[in-house]
Amino acid sequence: MTAAARPLAEAATLVERVLARHRERTVTELLRHIPEQSPPYLYELAADYPARPCKGLRSALCLATCAAFGGDSGRALNPAVTVELFHNGFLIHDDIQDGSELRRGAPTLSAEHGVEVALNVGNATNLLGLRRLMANRHELGGELAWRLFEETELMCRQSLEGQALEIAWIRDNACDLVPADYYRMCLKKTSWYTFLYPCRSGLLVAEGANTDAARLDRFGWYLGAAFQIQDDVLNLIGTEADYGKEIAGDLWEGKRTLLLIHLLERCTPAERARVVRYLSRTRAQRGPGAAEDVRWLLDRMAAYDCVESAQQAAAGLVAAAEREITEVLAAAPDPVEPSEEAAEAREFLLALPDFVVARGR
């Protein structure tokens, strides 16, 4: 049955079931490696974000990719924990940088414990990730351990560069961006660590250090762009309870989303001047009067169908991701011993694009 023919509800149930199972495995293993002896405000807080309700998408993707390509997902557990640790480390630092108040439905570490503590906890979380990478040497052998180090270094580099791009656009008040700029930033900031890195890690564990770990890159890149666009849309139209973060926070922060780029491309010169003026000020400089500006921006985005066109772009990317994963799976050799886990993992990967955009993170 192709992804398109599979009823959405059934596929979603499968995706949710696999996510829940992998999340349980990953979080249990992750928490087992948090040091018990800790100075106050360090390791015990590194356990906070991972234990909050979330889908565990990245680690599940690592485990499912390993299984779908004939590997033993148990061997991918340590890499999956690593993926999750670096993800949480990024979130903690991100929340400091954005001055965010909410994460996964509760106060951010920086809002609750201050920047000083949160910065340390983010670094401690990354350090725990490094420790897991070192543990690979004994669990998976030196060759594969080095490859996973290389993948992690590349992922961190891409993520940092993507974030630097986004920050630079806000700082330098870039207002002439085109969608291709946004997509380039997405690939680096979101796709790499959310999709490419987990897929590459899973492939490496399944097939060994010398495999072509890049053959799911296009799948990951399409999916990541769809995922980020959907996240940007939810940021505008979601409710705080569903989304777990401040609503329209992206507008308050001046983030260069596809929706904002569409608005800047489509609005009248007078409207554009107002948008540019709004964007030229920091959140602090705008003061409380900015609430009216944000309402006006939302209204103009509605008038120019910015949400609809972003959703259309996401739908196109989902279709492209489905084509990619179908092709790569079809080209993979049949498993020597077909297992139920491998079959389910393949279904999971095929259903994931639709799920990601239909359900959000």
Task: Return all residues near 165 (Cβ < 8 A) that are at least 6 apart.
Answer: 184, 185, 188, 189
Find out whether 356 and 223 touch, Cβ atoms under 8 Å. yes
Give the SS3 label for residue 46.
Answer: helix
Exactly one of 130, 175, 290, 307 binds a second copy (CB under 8 A); that residue is: 130
240: contact with a second copy by CB under 8 A: no
Give the SS3 label for residue 102.
Answer: strand
- Which of 7, 40 has the CB closer to a second copy? 40
DSSP string, 304-329: TTHHHHHHHHHHHHHHHHHHHHHHHH
- Which of 152, 230 has the CB closer to a second copy? 152
135: contact with a second copy by CB under 8 A: no
How near is the Cβ of 122 to a second copy at its closest, in Å? 9
96: contact with a second copy by CB under 8 A: yes
Give the SS3 label for residue 103.
Answer: strand
Neighbouring CB atoms inside 10 A of 240's CB total 12
DSSP string, 106-122: EE-HHHHHHHHHHHHHH
Exactly one of 33, 75, 102, 123 binds a second copy (CB under 8 A); that residue is: 123
119: contact with a second copy by CB under 8 A: yes
Exactly one of 157, 277, 283, 295 binds a second copy (CB under 8 A); that residue is: 157
Exactly one of 6, 52, 104, 137 binds a second copy (CB under 8 A); that residue is: 137
Find out whether 259 and 301 touch, Cβ atoms under 8 Å. yes
171: contact with a second copy by CB under 8 A: yes
How near is the Cβ of 233 to a second copy at its closest, in Å? 24
User: Which tokens in the block code for residue 262?
Assistant: 């569409």
Amino acid at 222: Y
Taking residues 34 to 73 in sequence order and writing x for each that binds a second copy by CB under 8 A, - otherwise, the string is: ----xxxxx-------------------------------
Exactly one of 16, 112, 139, 150 binds a second copy (CB under 8 A); that residue is: 150
Task: Return all residues near 172 (Cβ < 8 A) that are at least 6 apart.
Answer: none
Longest dimension (CA), the chain: 65
How near is the Cβ of 42 to a second copy at its closest, in Å? 4
Interface contacts to a second copy, rule CB under 8 A: 38-42, 93, 96-98, 114-117, 119-120, 123-124, 126-127, 130-131, 134, 137, 142, 146, 149-150, 153, 156-157, 160-161, 163-165, 167-168, 171-172
